[in-house]
Structure 1
Amino acid sequence: MITDERLLRACLGHFATGVTVVTCEVDGVPHGATVNAFTAVSLDPALVLVSLHRRSRAGRHLAGRPFTVNVLGEDQRDLAERFAGRRAEAPPRWAPRPRAGLAPRLAGSLATLSCTPWAAYDGGDHVLFVGRVEEAEYREGGRPLLFYEGGFRGLRAPHRIGISSSGRVRRPRAVEPSDRR
Protein backbone atom coordinates (compact mmCIF):
# COMPACT_ATOMS: atom_id res chain seq x y z
CA MET A 1 0.00 0.00 0.00
CA ILE A 2 1.26 3.48 -0.85
CA THR A 3 2.18 5.53 2.22
CA ASP A 4 3.53 8.68 0.56
CA GLU A 5 0.52 11.02 0.78
CA ARG A 6 2.28 13.76 -1.23
CA LEU A 7 2.96 11.37 -4.11
CA LEU A 8 -0.62 10.14 -4.05
CA ARG A 9 -1.98 13.71 -4.05
CA ALA A 10 0.30 14.63 -6.97
CA CYS A 11 -0.83 11.60 -8.97
CA LEU A 12 -4.52 12.23 -8.24
CA GLY A 13 -4.02 15.89 -9.15
CA HIS A 14 -3.34 14.82 -12.73
CA PHE A 15 -6.97 13.76 -13.07
CA ALA A 16 -9.02 16.81 -14.09
CA THR A 17 -12.38 17.06 -12.37
CA GLY A 18 -15.34 19.36 -12.45
CA VAL A 19 -15.95 21.64 -9.49
CA THR A 20 -19.13 21.57 -7.45
CA VAL A 21 -20.48 23.23 -4.35
CA VAL A 22 -22.55 20.84 -2.27
CA THR A 23 -25.19 22.67 -0.24
CA CYS A 24 -27.53 21.70 2.57
CA GLU A 25 -29.54 23.46 5.24
CA VAL A 26 -28.99 23.24 8.99
CA ASP A 27 -31.51 24.88 11.32
CA GLY A 28 -32.78 27.09 8.49
CA VAL A 29 -29.28 28.30 7.51
CA PRO A 30 -27.76 27.32 4.14
CA HIS A 31 -24.28 25.77 4.22
CA GLY A 32 -21.98 24.66 1.42
CA ALA A 33 -18.60 23.19 0.61
CA THR A 34 -16.52 23.11 -2.56
CA VAL A 35 -16.21 19.48 -3.67
CA ASN A 36 -14.53 17.91 -6.68
CA ALA A 37 -15.08 14.30 -5.54
CA PHE A 38 -18.48 13.88 -7.21
CA THR A 39 -19.76 11.24 -9.60
CA ALA A 40 -22.89 9.73 -11.07
CA VAL A 41 -23.70 6.31 -9.61
CA SER A 42 -26.89 5.16 -11.34
CA LEU A 43 -29.54 6.32 -13.79
CA ASP A 44 -32.26 4.01 -12.46
CA PRO A 45 -32.71 5.00 -9.75
CA ALA A 46 -31.00 8.35 -10.30
CA LEU A 47 -28.13 8.36 -7.77
CA VAL A 48 -25.05 10.55 -7.33
CA LEU A 49 -22.16 10.40 -4.86
CA VAL A 50 -20.12 13.06 -3.09
CA SER A 51 -17.12 12.37 -0.89
CA LEU A 52 -16.42 14.58 2.14
CA HIS A 53 -13.73 14.36 4.80
CA ARG A 54 -15.28 12.77 7.85
CA ARG A 55 -13.94 15.47 10.19
CA SER A 56 -15.15 18.35 8.01
CA ARG A 57 -18.02 20.58 9.04
CA ALA A 58 -19.64 19.87 5.66
CA GLY A 59 -19.48 16.13 6.30
CA ARG A 60 -21.17 16.56 9.67
CA HIS A 61 -23.82 18.87 8.18
CA LEU A 62 -24.65 16.57 5.28
CA ALA A 63 -25.32 13.43 7.34
CA GLY A 64 -28.96 12.46 6.86
CA ARG A 65 -29.96 15.74 5.19
CA PRO A 66 -31.12 16.61 1.68
CA PHE A 67 -28.32 18.16 -0.38
CA THR A 68 -27.83 19.85 -3.72
CA VAL A 69 -24.85 19.39 -6.02
CA ASN A 70 -24.25 22.71 -7.81
CA VAL A 71 -22.00 22.22 -10.85
CA LEU A 72 -19.98 25.41 -11.29
CA GLY A 73 -19.14 27.25 -14.49
CA GLU A 74 -15.91 29.09 -15.33
CA ASP A 75 -17.61 32.31 -14.29
CA GLN A 76 -18.18 30.99 -10.75
CA ARG A 77 -14.60 30.59 -9.54
CA ASP A 78 -15.33 33.08 -6.75
CA LEU A 79 -18.01 30.72 -5.39
CA ALA A 80 -15.60 27.79 -5.49
CA GLU A 81 -13.06 29.80 -3.51
CA ARG A 82 -15.67 31.13 -1.10
CA PHE A 83 -17.03 27.69 -0.22
CA ALA A 84 -13.48 26.32 0.02
CA GLY A 85 -12.92 28.88 2.78
CA ARG A 86 -10.39 30.94 0.81
CA ARG A 87 -12.27 34.23 0.71
CA ALA A 88 -15.63 35.67 1.58
CA GLU A 89 -16.62 38.65 -0.51
CA ALA A 90 -20.23 39.15 -1.55
CA PRO A 91 -22.67 36.58 -0.18
CA PRO A 92 -23.82 33.91 -2.65
CA ARG A 93 -27.04 34.33 -4.57
CA TRP A 94 -29.52 31.55 -3.92
CA ALA A 95 -31.98 30.26 -6.53
CA PRO A 96 -35.58 29.44 -5.68
CA ARG A 97 -36.00 25.86 -4.52
CA PRO A 98 -37.84 23.54 -6.89
CA ARG A 99 -39.95 22.27 -3.96
CA ALA A 100 -40.10 22.16 -0.19
CA GLY A 101 -37.84 19.71 1.59
CA LEU A 102 -34.92 20.06 -0.82
CA ALA A 103 -31.62 21.80 -0.14
CA PRO A 104 -30.70 25.35 -1.25
CA ARG A 105 -29.40 25.88 -4.82
CA LEU A 106 -26.85 28.42 -6.01
CA ALA A 107 -28.09 30.82 -8.69
CA GLY A 108 -26.24 30.64 -12.00
CA SER A 109 -24.87 27.10 -11.63
CA LEU A 110 -24.28 25.12 -14.84
CA ALA A 111 -26.38 22.35 -13.36
CA THR A 112 -28.06 21.53 -10.06
CA LEU A 113 -28.99 18.11 -8.74
CA SER A 114 -31.23 18.27 -5.67
CA CYS A 115 -31.00 15.05 -3.69
CA THR A 116 -32.48 13.22 -0.75
CA PRO A 117 -30.22 10.95 1.31
CA TRP A 118 -29.94 7.39 -0.03
CA ALA A 119 -26.94 5.94 1.84
CA ALA A 120 -23.64 6.83 3.47
CA TYR A 121 -20.55 4.62 3.38
CA ASP A 122 -17.22 4.56 5.15
CA GLY A 123 -14.44 5.64 2.81
CA GLY A 124 -11.38 5.73 5.06
CA ASP A 125 -10.87 9.33 6.12
CA HIS A 126 -13.93 10.30 4.04
CA VAL A 127 -17.65 9.53 4.06
CA LEU A 128 -19.27 8.69 0.73
CA PHE A 129 -22.73 10.25 0.61
CA VAL A 130 -25.09 8.81 -2.00
CA GLY A 131 -28.14 10.88 -2.84
CA ARG A 132 -31.23 10.14 -4.88
CA VAL A 133 -31.74 12.90 -7.44
CA GLU A 134 -35.21 14.36 -6.96
CA GLU A 135 -34.87 17.45 -9.19
CA ALA A 136 -32.29 18.40 -11.83
CA GLU A 137 -31.76 21.51 -13.95
CA TYR A 138 -29.05 22.82 -16.26
CA ARG A 139 -28.33 25.95 -18.25
CA GLU A 140 -27.16 26.05 -21.85
CA GLY A 141 -24.04 27.72 -23.12
CA GLY A 142 -21.86 27.69 -20.03
CA ARG A 143 -18.35 26.31 -19.75
CA PRO A 144 -17.33 24.22 -16.74
CA LEU A 145 -14.91 25.18 -14.01
CA LEU A 146 -12.25 22.48 -13.67
CA PHE A 147 -9.76 21.50 -10.98
CA TYR A 148 -6.36 20.23 -12.15
CA GLU A 149 -2.94 20.01 -10.50
CA GLY A 150 -4.17 21.85 -7.42
CA GLY A 151 -5.78 24.81 -9.18
CA PHE A 152 -8.94 26.00 -10.87
CA ARG A 153 -8.90 26.01 -14.67
CA GLY A 154 -11.15 26.70 -17.60
CA LEU A 155 -11.89 24.40 -20.50
CA ARG A 156 -10.30 25.26 -23.82
CA ALA A 157 -12.38 25.13 -26.98
CA PRO A 158 -12.50 21.57 -28.32
CA HIS A 159 -10.52 20.54 -31.38
CA ARG A 160 -12.87 20.03 -34.28
CA ILE A 161 -12.42 17.10 -36.58
CA GLY A 162 -13.92 17.05 -40.02
CA ILE A 163 -15.85 14.30 -41.76
CA SER A 164 -15.33 14.08 -45.50
CA SER A 165 -18.17 13.39 -47.93
CA SER A 166 -17.00 9.76 -48.04
CA GLY A 167 -17.44 9.48 -44.27
CA ARG A 168 -13.73 9.42 -43.46
CA VAL A 169 -12.47 11.36 -40.49
CA ARG A 170 -10.09 14.16 -41.41
CA ARG A 171 -7.72 14.79 -38.56
CA PRO A 172 -6.80 18.40 -37.90
CA ARG A 173 -3.26 19.34 -38.85
CA ALA A 174 -1.10 21.97 -37.34
CA VAL A 175 -1.04 25.14 -39.39
CA GLU A 176 2.43 26.55 -39.80
CA PRO A 177 2.77 30.35 -39.93
CA SER A 178 3.91 30.08 -43.56
CA ASP A 179 0.68 28.20 -44.45
CA ARG A 180 -1.56 31.07 -43.33
CA ARG A 181 -2.76 33.38 -46.03
Structure 2
Amino acid sequence: MKVDTRQLRNCLGHFATGVTVITTEVDGHPHGATVNSFTAVSLDPPLVLVSLDRRTKACGYLEDRPFTVNLLREPQDDVALHFAGKPRTEPVEWAHGEFGPRLPGSLAHVACSPWRSYDGGDHVLFLGRVEEFEFTGGDPLVFYLGEFRHLGTAFETVPWMESADCPSTLDFSWLRPVS
Protein backbone atom coordinates (compact mmCIF):
# COMPACT_ATOMS: atom_id res chain seq x y z
CA MET A 1 0.00 0.00 0.00
CA LYS A 2 1.34 3.43 -0.95
CA VAL A 3 1.02 5.94 1.87
CA ASP A 4 -0.41 9.36 0.98
CA THR A 5 2.09 11.67 2.72
CA ARG A 6 -0.39 14.56 3.02
CA GLN A 7 -2.94 12.30 4.72
CA LEU A 8 -0.23 10.85 6.96
CA ARG A 9 0.77 14.38 7.97
CA ASN A 10 -2.89 15.16 8.74
CA CYS A 11 -3.13 12.01 10.84
CA LEU A 12 0.07 12.76 12.78
CA GLY A 13 -1.19 16.31 13.40
CA HIS A 14 -3.66 14.78 15.86
CA PHE A 15 -0.77 14.24 18.26
CA ALA A 16 -0.45 17.39 20.38
CA THR A 17 3.15 18.49 20.93
CA GLY A 18 5.06 21.18 22.67
CA VAL A 19 6.86 23.76 20.56
CA THR A 20 10.63 24.19 20.72
CA VAL A 21 13.24 26.31 19.05
CA ILE A 22 16.56 24.56 18.55
CA THR A 23 19.45 27.02 18.74
CA THR A 24 23.13 26.75 17.91
CA GLU A 25 26.02 28.98 16.96
CA VAL A 26 27.74 28.99 13.57
CA ASP A 27 30.78 31.19 12.90
CA GLY A 28 29.99 33.29 15.97
CA HIS A 29 26.35 33.91 14.98
CA PRO A 30 23.29 32.41 16.71
CA HIS A 31 20.78 30.47 14.61
CA GLY A 32 17.49 28.78 15.44
CA ALA A 33 14.71 26.66 14.00
CA THR A 34 11.23 25.88 15.26
CA VAL A 35 10.84 22.15 15.86
CA ASN A 36 8.08 20.06 17.40
CA SER A 37 9.88 16.72 16.95
CA PHE A 38 11.64 16.61 20.30
CA THR A 39 11.68 13.89 22.92
CA ALA A 40 13.56 12.60 25.93
CA VAL A 41 15.55 9.44 25.15
CA SER A 42 17.52 8.40 28.22
CA LEU A 43 18.23 9.50 31.78
CA ASP A 44 21.52 7.57 32.02
CA PRO A 45 23.25 8.92 30.05
CA PRO A 46 21.02 11.99 29.80
CA LEU A 47 19.98 12.14 26.12
CA VAL A 48 17.35 13.99 24.10
CA LEU A 49 16.43 13.75 20.41
CA VAL A 50 15.44 16.36 17.84
CA SER A 51 14.43 15.59 14.28
CA LEU A 52 15.16 18.10 11.50
CA ASP A 53 14.26 18.06 7.83
CA ARG A 54 17.53 17.34 6.05
CA ARG A 55 16.81 20.06 3.43
CA THR A 56 16.92 22.88 5.99
CA LYS A 57 19.90 25.07 6.82
CA ALA A 58 19.36 24.26 10.49
CA CYS A 59 19.96 20.58 9.81
CA GLY A 60 23.38 21.38 8.41
CA TYR A 61 24.14 23.67 11.34
CA LEU A 62 23.52 20.98 13.97
CA GLU A 63 25.98 18.38 12.69
CA ASP A 64 28.68 17.97 15.38
CA ARG A 65 27.72 21.20 17.17
CA PRO A 66 26.33 21.85 20.64
CA PHE A 67 22.70 22.90 20.60
CA THR A 68 20.00 24.08 22.97
CA VAL A 69 16.38 23.00 23.00
CA ASN A 70 14.26 25.99 24.08
CA LEU A 71 10.81 24.85 25.21
CA LEU A 72 8.49 27.72 24.41
CA ARG A 73 5.89 29.03 26.79
CA GLU A 74 2.53 30.52 26.17
CA PRO A 75 2.42 33.13 24.53
CA GLN A 76 5.71 32.79 22.58
CA ASP A 77 3.92 31.96 19.33
CA ASP A 78 5.60 34.98 17.70
CA VAL A 79 9.00 33.47 18.56
CA ALA A 80 7.92 30.10 17.10
CA LEU A 81 6.76 31.80 13.90
CA HIS A 82 9.96 33.84 13.67
CA PHE A 83 12.13 30.73 13.68
CA ALA A 84 9.73 28.97 11.31
CA GLY A 85 10.47 31.53 8.60
CA LYS A 86 7.97 34.30 9.40
CA PRO A 87 10.29 36.90 10.94
CA ARG A 88 8.95 39.42 13.39
CA THR A 89 9.90 43.07 13.24
CA GLU A 90 11.66 43.39 16.61
CA PRO A 91 15.07 41.76 17.03
CA VAL A 92 15.46 38.40 18.77
CA GLU A 93 16.86 38.55 22.28
CA TRP A 94 19.64 36.02 22.92
CA ALA A 95 21.32 34.72 26.06
CA HIS A 96 24.70 33.06 25.69
CA GLY A 97 25.65 30.00 27.69
CA GLU A 98 28.55 27.59 27.77
CA PHE A 99 26.84 25.37 25.16
CA GLY A 100 25.68 28.12 22.83
CA PRO A 101 22.83 30.58 22.49
CA ARG A 102 19.42 30.24 24.07
CA LEU A 103 16.18 32.19 24.15
CA PRO A 104 15.48 34.00 27.43
CA GLY A 105 11.90 33.82 28.62
CA SER A 106 11.38 30.23 27.49
CA LEU A 107 9.63 27.75 29.74
CA ALA A 108 12.80 25.65 29.85
CA HIS A 109 16.06 25.14 28.05
CA VAL A 110 18.12 21.98 27.63
CA ALA A 111 21.72 22.56 26.50
CA CYS A 112 23.37 19.60 24.77
CA SER A 113 26.68 18.47 23.39
CA PRO A 114 26.43 16.41 20.21
CA TRP A 115 26.06 12.66 20.86
CA ARG A 116 25.10 10.93 17.58
CA SER A 117 23.08 11.58 14.43
CA TYR A 118 21.09 9.04 12.45
CA ASP A 119 19.40 8.81 9.07
CA GLY A 120 15.69 9.36 9.51
CA GLY A 121 14.51 9.28 5.89
CA ASP A 122 13.86 12.87 4.84
CA HIS A 123 14.95 13.95 8.34
CA VAL A 124 18.10 13.61 10.42
CA LEU A 125 17.74 12.47 14.02
CA PHE A 126 20.13 14.31 16.33
CA LEU A 127 20.80 12.96 19.80
CA GLY A 128 22.28 15.40 22.27
CA ARG A 129 23.82 14.68 25.65
CA VAL A 130 22.21 16.99 28.22
CA GLU A 131 24.93 19.13 29.78
CA GLU A 132 22.77 21.67 31.59
CA PHE A 133 19.11 22.53 31.89
CA GLU A 134 16.83 25.04 33.52
CA PHE A 135 13.07 25.29 33.85
CA THR A 136 10.53 27.72 35.26
CA GLY A 137 6.81 27.66 35.92
CA GLY A 138 4.17 28.49 33.38
CA ASP A 139 2.19 26.93 30.57
CA PRO A 140 3.80 25.50 27.43
CA LEU A 141 3.05 26.58 23.90
CA VAL A 142 1.15 23.65 22.35
CA PHE A 143 0.74 22.72 18.67
CA TYR A 144 -2.24 20.64 17.53
CA LEU A 145 -3.84 20.21 14.09
CA GLY A 146 -1.66 22.94 12.58
CA GLU A 147 -2.48 25.58 15.19
CA PHE A 148 -1.11 26.87 18.47
CA ARG A 149 -3.33 25.86 21.40
CA HIS A 150 -3.76 26.41 25.12
CA LEU A 151 -3.70 23.72 27.75
CA GLY A 152 -6.95 23.01 29.51
CA THR A 153 -7.43 22.52 33.22
CA ALA A 154 -5.20 19.86 34.75
CA PHE A 155 -6.69 16.60 36.01
CA GLU A 156 -7.09 16.42 39.77
CA THR A 157 -5.17 13.14 39.88
CA VAL A 158 -2.55 11.65 37.65
CA PRO A 159 -4.23 8.69 35.94
CA TRP A 160 -1.23 6.33 36.06
CA MET A 161 -0.47 6.86 39.76
CA GLU A 162 -2.87 4.07 40.65
CA SER A 163 -1.88 1.73 37.83
CA ALA A 164 0.43 -1.26 38.06
CA ASP A 165 2.85 0.48 35.68
CA CYS A 166 3.56 3.56 37.80
CA PRO A 167 7.38 3.76 38.03
CA SER A 168 7.33 4.97 41.64
CA THR A 169 5.28 1.97 42.80
CA LEU A 170 7.05 -0.79 40.90
CA ASP A 171 9.00 -3.33 42.94
CA PHE A 172 12.29 -4.22 41.28
CA SER A 173 13.66 -6.19 44.24
CA TRP A 174 13.43 -9.38 42.17
CA LEU A 175 15.90 -7.97 39.67
CA ARG A 176 19.42 -9.12 40.49
CA PRO A 177 22.65 -8.41 38.62
CA VAL A 178 24.01 -11.31 36.62
CA SER A 179 27.36 -12.50 38.00
User: What range describes the TM-score normalised by the shorter chain of this pair?
Assistant: 0.7 to 0.9
> 1:87-112: per-residue Cα shift (whole Å, max 9, x none)?
32212211241x3xx12010011010
Distance in 2 between the 1:26 and 1:54 partners? 17
> 1:35-54: per-residue Cα shift (whole Å, max 9, x none)?
00000000001000000001
Q: Is 1:111 the counterpart of 2:108 in the alignment? A: yes
What is the aligned partner in structure 1 of residue 165 from structure 2? none
After TM superposition, what 4+ stretches of structure 1 lie above 2 angstroms from structure 2?
A: none
What is the aligned partner in structure 2 of residue 130 from structure 1? 127
Distance in 2 between the 1:56 and 1:14 partners? 24
What is the aligned partner in structure 2 of residue 171 from structure 1? none
What is the aligned partner in structure 1 of residue 169 from structure 2? none
Distance in 2 between the 1:82 and 1:91 partners? 10
**For 1:1-181, what aligned pairs fall within 5 Å after superposition?**
1-97=1-97, 99=98, 102-140=99-137, 142-160=138-156
Q: What do you get for the CA RMSD once the two structures are aligned?
A: 1.2
Percent identical pairs in the alignment equals: 62
Q: How many residues are treated as equivalent by the alignment? A: 157
Distance in 1 between the 2:5 and 2:118 partners? 22
Q: CA deviation at 1:2?
A: 4.3
* Larger of the two Rg values belongs to structure: 1
TM-score normalised according to structure 1 size: 0.83
Matched position secondary structure for 1:47: strand
Amino acid of the residue matched to residue 55 of structure 1?
A: R
Evaluate the alpha carbon distance shift between residue 11 and residue 2 of structure 1 in structure 2; reply closer, same or farther with a 3 A threshold. farther
Distance in 2 between the 1:48 and 1:123 partners? 15
What is the aligned partner in structure 2 of residue 167 from structure 1? none
Distance in 1 between the 2:119 and 2:29 partners? 27
Evaluate the alpha carbon distance shift between residue 26 and residue 5 of structure 1 in structure 2; reply closer, same or farther with a 3 A threshold. same
